[in-house]
Every structure is written in C-alpha cells, then in structure tokens.
Amino acid sequence: MDYVELLESLNKDLTEIKDFRLKVIVIHLYIEYWINELILALFHEPKKIIDDGDLGTFENKMKILESRGIFKTHEDLLTNVRMVQRIRNHYSHKLILEDELNEKVKTCINNMKALYAIKERNLSTIAYEEKFIQLSVEAFKYLDQLNDHVWKYRNM
C-alpha cells in the first residue's frame, strides 16, 4: 500500500469508529506499519534480524530504531510515538473503562508535541481526544516522510 491509500484508510477508520479506545488501537496499528517499514529500510538484509516477517514487540522495534539513531534529530516524533504507545497500552490492558478520560491518558496527550504542519494551530482549545488524533495522524505522516528519507540514503 502506498502512503495516500494508507492515509485515506486511516481517515476512513477514524471517521467510522466512534469509541476512543478503538481509535487509539487503530492509530497505533498504522504507526506500527511505518515503524516496520523503517526497520526494513535500515537494513540491507533485514531477513537476518527478522524472523519470518515478525519484528517482535513494538518496544523492541523502537529500540532498534533508536539504536540506529533514527530519532536523533526527530525527538518530538519519538515523544509522540512513545505517547501513542503508552495510551495504547493503557487501553489494551483495561477491561473496564472509566466514563472520563484517565489522568494518565490526559498527561500522555499533553506530553505530545506539535510537529511540522500542525505547529501553527492552537491545540489548547480542543478536546483531548481530538488533540490526540490530530497529533497522531501528524506522526503517521512524519513517519512516512522519514521512511522516504531513509530509503533515499540507503539507495545512494
């Protein structure tokens, strides 16, 4: 799938899904797609570290990328991916949810950074859920650009 198809699919999913927990899990899946693609782009023989196409846990994937310095100049992106991961972990391990957003989730959302295109917008006036979605979609877009960048340098 190419970037445009993925972005359209993500936007469609986010429009159709009403439950915030499900939106978090779906966003995490889309972000993990680009994390996988980055790992594949970094190694000339990725099959030597990937067992039958399985890259292992999300945490291990992030450690691989961090150890290769991928986020060295993209710290805000790293922060956002980590916050998406924490929020996803919160929701995927909770059977019964509170009616209100959990304080840990709010803190994670507040810790997310505005990336490039979204910096001009005032996010302090929008609801936590919408802020999370906007910042996560920006992270998804940024990961795609980072992936393109890695492939260009790899093929030089």
How far apart are the C-alpha atoms of 44 and 46, rounded to whole Å?
6
> Are the CB atoms for 115 and 138 separated by under 8 Å?
yes
pLDDT value of position 96: 80
| 128-149 pLDDT, tens digit each | 999 999 999 999 999 999 999 8
pTM for this model (two decimals): 0.88
For 72, counting Cβ atoms within 10 Å of its Cβ (0-12 exposed, 13-18 middle, 19+ buried), the class is: exposed
Q: In the numeric block, which tokens belong to residue 1?
A: 């799938």
DSSP state of 54: B
> Are the CB atoms for 133 and 23 separated by under 8 Å?
yes
| 52-109 pLDDT, tens digit each | 667 778 998 999 999 999 999 999 999 999 999 999 999 988 778 777 788 999 999 9
For 27, counting Cβ atoms within 10 Å of its Cβ (0-12 exposed, 13-18 middle, 19+ buried), the class is: buried
Q: In the numeric block, which tokens belong to residue 138?
A: 């920006």
Mean of the pLDDT values across residues 45-52? 72
DSSP state of 45: S
How far apart are the C-alpha atoms of 64 and 40, rounded to whole Å?
11
Q: Is the dihedral of CA 101, 9, 68, 89 positive or negative?
A: positive
Q: Which domains does the chain carry?
A: 3-154 (1.20.120)
